[in-house]
Structure 1
Amino acid sequence: MSNYSKLTKNYISGEWRDGTGNTELKVDNPYNGEILGQFKTASIDDINEAYESAKKAQIEWAKVNPFERSSIMEKAVQLFQSRREELVELLIKESGSSYIKANVEIDFVIAITREAASFPLRMGGEIIPSLVAGKENRLYRKPVGVVGIIGPFNFPMYLSHRSVAPALATGNGVVLKPDSQTPVTGGTILANIMEEAGIPKGLFNVVVPNRKEVGDIMMEHPVPRVISFTGSTEVGRHIGEICGRLIKKPILELGGNNALIVLEDADIDRAVNSALFGKFMHNGQICMSLNRIVVHEKLYDEFVEKFVNLTKKVKVGNPEEKDTLIGPLINKRSVERILGDIETAKSQGAKVVLEGKADGNVLYPYILTGTNEVATAQNEMFGPVATVIKCKDEEDAIQIANDSPYGLSGAVHSGSVERGVEVAKQIVTGMIHVNDQSVNDEPLIAFGGEKDSGIGRFGGIRSLHEFTTEQWISVQTEERESPYHANYLK
């Protein structure tokens, strides 16, 4: 972690410097409480300079040859690859990631950067026929200008960079505000790598403010035309309201309450393995994590027994040990919130079939059985807590899965792939996986939610479209006769 202190600066106008805010932000290791470093936070003036810098640099960046922009993104791919060991260590220390999860995250970062490198070469226009004689209709795809990005703490590097990379590649300027709990892995390390890759000075800015001091300036500032946010539905709704009022485009990837449906013809061992992966990857701190496991009554008892027995084998504790699968939650508040929901669920009739415990920020896994109405089923746990729910048949399973305001991800296990697909089609969710688990992301596929889980899609051509706009330019190649033509004005 020798480089950590070098990254505890805001990156504004191409310079690494302390913010001019009134707060000293200390960043700690969520596993052992070690202070990793501290920031002098950004002020409203710093954020204003960052946006103005991005606006100014973007004008020239949009004119840069597409092959040159692509080459810079390819250089970033190489840097992410060559610095993998350093990046994994940063994720483990700052975000509490396990060794496995940290490496998965770096894989995602590399994949989206490589995909974004193709975007400058895919921004061609179209010529479309016209109703008007002698007219040529041209459509030009252009950058939106400046994008404001607000990142989360759970997959901090990837969930920031899946907006940063496409936005930069398509010719935009960027101001990124990472989560204050992961300001390096979600922010300044990306600036460090993109700077080394050759991004022009001032184009990409990273600010680490105290929200109490700066309020909603990230969204309300007049420069950004698009605001990309990943986080809770509550905050996303607030951001969406601001964007609507100011006529800005929001891209919102929000919460989830994802269900795994296990039908009576499913391979039970395969379903249990999927439940383990989908629930406990990164301690359940993933928007796509399984929250509810809906099992047909014929398989229910056997499933619960096997799921409990397999979960007992999961190693919990220090994320620096490579075989640890469940490490710390991001903070003590998360532990207390989850334990409170478990107690509420018990009072509502849920039964704890595997009882965990809290050890600092580490929460050992809990498995409960109950209905879809108990607190641990109704609320997004964002931690290592699963609720297993019995269903009578396929129709009952679909009803339970859809009985949630969220619609992000999910999964269906069935002995018949096509039956699984037909059930999946009836779940109101942006993504769902047959005979797999719910935590999936790929650089070419549409990623996003329905209902309270968000607006917009990431991945492939959809990311290119989210961070660009189209301009119609028509060319009249011969004189056009109109009602006001001289022949009609005699």
Structure 2
Amino acid sequence: MVLNVRVKCLYCRTKAVQRASTRPARSARSRRLAVTNVTTAIKKSVLLTARGWTGEAYSGGWFRGAGDQMPVIEKATLSQLAVVDQITTAQLDQVAERARDARKGWAADPQLRRSVLLRACEILEANRGEVVEWIVRESGSIPAKGNGEVTDSIAELANAADLATEEHGVILRKGGTELTSVAERVPYGTVGIITPWNVPLLLAMRSVAPALGLGNTVILKPDNQTAISGGILIARVLEEAGVPSGVFNVVPGAGTVIGEALILHPLVGLVSFTGSTMTGRRIASLAAPLLKKVALELGGKNPHVVLADADVDGAAASGAWGTFQHQGQVCMAIGRHIVDSEVVDRYTSNLVARAAILRQGDPFVDEVELGPLINERQAAHVEEIVEDARARGAVVVGGERHGAFMPPTVISGVVPGMRAYGEEIFGPVAVVIAAKSDEDAIRIANDTEYGLSASVHSADLLRANSVADRIRSGMVHINAQPINDNPWSPMGGLGASGSGGRFGGPANVEMFTTWRWRTTRTVPERGFFPEPKSQSGHVSLD
């Protein structure tokens, strides 16, 4: 197969990845958003300057972490935006105790929970511009993606506010006229939440909001690479919303220190983690001896199956969006384009043409569709997988990597044995695999340890659903792409993609509460032992 469309080099600002204190000229739109250094950021900010934030952690108020400070880096320029205090394990003990002490009052007042979460919706919306700016600069997102995070996070808060005042339980069979029996859902107590850098605000809020709404207190450890948008800003929003002391806490720190201490802490009843499969396995191994529940939402190698009768142009449009958005740094992103051999050449050429027009650069300054990857190490990892495929005979169409900027790339002719076939790439790389038939497509789709999300394209909906039924995946979408999520639908995966738990809708109640059986009797239960002979029931011990 010959691909006659060439992806041009999309790296348009070489100096953007160099450490520099100066910035190029910006458009009027960009200048209105611009924050050139830490000092001007503090002057301009609303959420962070309202209290004069200078890097602290949060628990019943702001406090200085006793650990080292860590820099907050703008991913496109490598310039420093701010610093954040890391806490120590001794400080974590104090935070956990404060969260424990706050449990009873918070769990007992559903109206307070509802009002705090609804107020948080208003505050987040009112400060949308500031929050989006931090997401863009801290994670390398384009503004549209940052805005989507804010919108979806507000929806998570609103949905959790409804959970706060809903009844969660069932009345059971009495077993007698004097007995009332109920099964009720009760909070775990304190939930530890560890979140990733790729969608920092939303993937934190997806656990924080329902955990709070259902009566838990929360200790959040955001990823250090996005500690502001993934943690500090959430604390500011909830602080302004009136969250009581100790109910919500943010503890920046290293995953191997504070993250592991949070998992092991005896006052933490449930750990919710979103991130890599390798880290998820580590968390599960730490929690297992404690018999502690963990909620793991991990990686994926998600199949995008295109059958022979599919709308090729529509499938390629979905395929490009599901592969390249946020530089492919999404757990639900398409990991494999599994395309029927009858249409694979047309589909691949279409996909390459779509990749070729995507612009890449600094999303804070330039009008682009793709920004940088989270760091140069991750970009180099992606490049290694691409070069492995090239060396093994695959056709690679894409530009060259420049620092953390990896342009959209299409690899065709991928077969087992290539790293691109089985490894999660987490970068802007479309892996195209030809399938001989529907049966072969199903086989390839299931040839993975992952099972997060999937998509199937066909003009025949019965055929598409028949294929979808046989794909081992926690989610599947017909004539769409696999990056789909909302607060009302159960989201999660199987196998190496997660522990089987789900986020969203009714699954939130299952995730963040546990069953408790409660019985009430109008008269004491006497049992079947014989009664004492004394009329009074009192036997002298003399």
Shorter chain as denominator, the TM-score bin is over 0.9
Look up the match of 1:127. Answer: 171
CA distance in 2, matches of 1:480, 1:49: 42
Q: Kindly state the Cα deviation for residue 205 of structure 1 after the two structures are TM-superposed.
A: 0.8
C-alpha change, 1:9 and 1:485, in structure 2 (3 Å) is: farther
SS for the counterpart of 2:393 is coil
Provide the TM-score with structure 1 as the length reference: 0.95
Q: Kindly state the Cα deviation for residue 123 of structure 1 after the two structures are TM-superposed.
A: 3.2
Q: Kindly state the Cα deviation for residue 7 of structure 1 after the two structures are TM-superposed.
A: 4.7
The letter for the 2-side match of 1:141 is R
Residue 386 (structure 2) pairs with residue 342 (structure 1): yes
Residues 210-230 of structure 1, C-alpha deviations (whole Å, 9 max, x = no match): 345547201011101000000
Larger mean Cα displacement after TM superposition, 74-83 or 476-485? 476-485
Look up the match of 2:401. Answer: 358
Look up the match of 2:60. Answer: 14
CA distance in 2, matches of 1:465, 1:68: 22
SS for the counterpart of 1:303 is helix
Q: Residues 221 and 259 of structure 2 are in contact (CA less than 8 Å); yes or no, is this contact kept in structure 1?
A: no
CA distance in 2, matches of 1:414, 1:321: 40
Residue 265 (structure 2) pairs with residue 240 (structure 1): no
CA distance in 1, matches of 2:478, 2:532: 67
Match of 2:361 among 317, 320, 329: 317
Identity of aligned residues (%): 37
Look up the match of 1:423. Answer: 467
CA distance in 2, matches of 1:479, 1:383: 65
Residue 311 (structure 2) pairs with residue 287 (structure 1): no
CA distance in 2, matches of 1:125, 1:428: 31
Stretches of structure 2 that go unaligned for 5 or more consecutive residues are: 1-34, 36-40, 534-542
SS for the counterpart of 2:475 is coil
- Which structure has the bigger radius of gyration? 2
SS for the counterpart of 1:137 is strand
SS for the counterpart of 1:358 is coil
Q: Residues 372 and 389 of structure 1 are in contact (CA less than 8 Å); yes or no, is this contact kept in structure 2?
A: no
Residue 267 (structure 2) pairs with residue 223 (structure 1): yes
Q: Residues 99 and 322 of structure 1 are in contact (CA less than 8 Å); yes or no, is this contact kept in structure 2?
A: no
Residues 274-309 of structure 1, C-alpha deviations (whole Å, 9 max, x = no match): 001000110000000001100001101111111101
Report 1:331-410 matches (<5 A).
331-352=375-396, 354-369=397-412, 370-410=414-454
Q: Kindly state the Cα deviation for residue 133 of structure 1 after the two structures are TM-superposed.
A: 5.6
Provide the TM-score with structure 2 as the length reference: 0.86
The letter for the 2-side match of 1:363 is M
The letter for the 1-side match of 2:203 is L
Look up the match of 2:31. Answer: none
Residue 70 (structure 2) pairs with residue 25 (structure 1): yes
CA distance in 1, matches of 2:461, 2:150: 31
Report how many residues are paired: 485
SS for the counterpart of 1:359 is coil
Look up the match of 1:47. Answer: 92
C-alpha change, 1:171 and 1:273, in structure 2 (3 Å) is: same
Residues 180-233 of structure 1, C-alpha deviations (whole Å, 9 max, x = no match): 000000001000000101100121110111345547201011101000000000
Look up the match of 1:173. Answer: 217
Match of 2:133 among 63, 86, 89: 89
CA distance in 1, matches of 2:382, 2:469: 31
Look up the match of 1:254. Answer: 298
CA distance in 1, matches of 2:56, 2:294: 24
Look up the match of 2:240. Answer: 196
Q: Residues 220 and 242 of structure 1 are in contact (CA less than 8 Å); yes or no, is this contact kept in structure 2?
A: yes
C-alpha change, 1:199 and 1:255, in structure 2 (3 Å) is: same
The letter for the 2-side match of 1:26 is P
Residues 349-380 of structure 1, C-alpha deviations (whole Å, 9 max, x = no match): 2221x122212211111110112432112111
The letter for the 1-side match of 2:481 is Q
Residues 69-121 of structure 1, C-alpha deviations (whole Å, 9 max, x = no match): 11111111111111111111110011111111111111110111110010111
C-alpha change, 1:481 and 1:26, in structure 2 (3 Å) is: closer
Q: Kindly state the Cα deviation for residue 487 of structure 1 after the two structures are TM-superposed.
A: 11
SS for the counterpart of 1:454 is coil
Residue 179 (structure 2) pairs with residue 155 (structure 1): no
C-alpha change, 1:351 and 1:8, in structure 2 (3 Å) is: farther
SS for the counterpart of 1:168 is helix
Look up the match of 1:449. Answer: 493
Q: Residues 389 and 418 of structure 2 are in contact (CA less than 8 Å); yes or no, is this contact kept in structure 1?
A: yes
Q: Kindly state the Cα deviation for residue 272 of structure 1 after the two structures are TM-superposed.
A: 0.5
CA distance in 2, matches of 1:204, 1:180: 18
Stretches of structure 1 that go unaligned for 5 or more consecutive residues are: none
Larger mean Cα displacement after TM superposition, 470-479 or 140-149? 470-479
Look up the match of 1:100. Answer: 144
The letter for the 1-side match of 2:424 is E
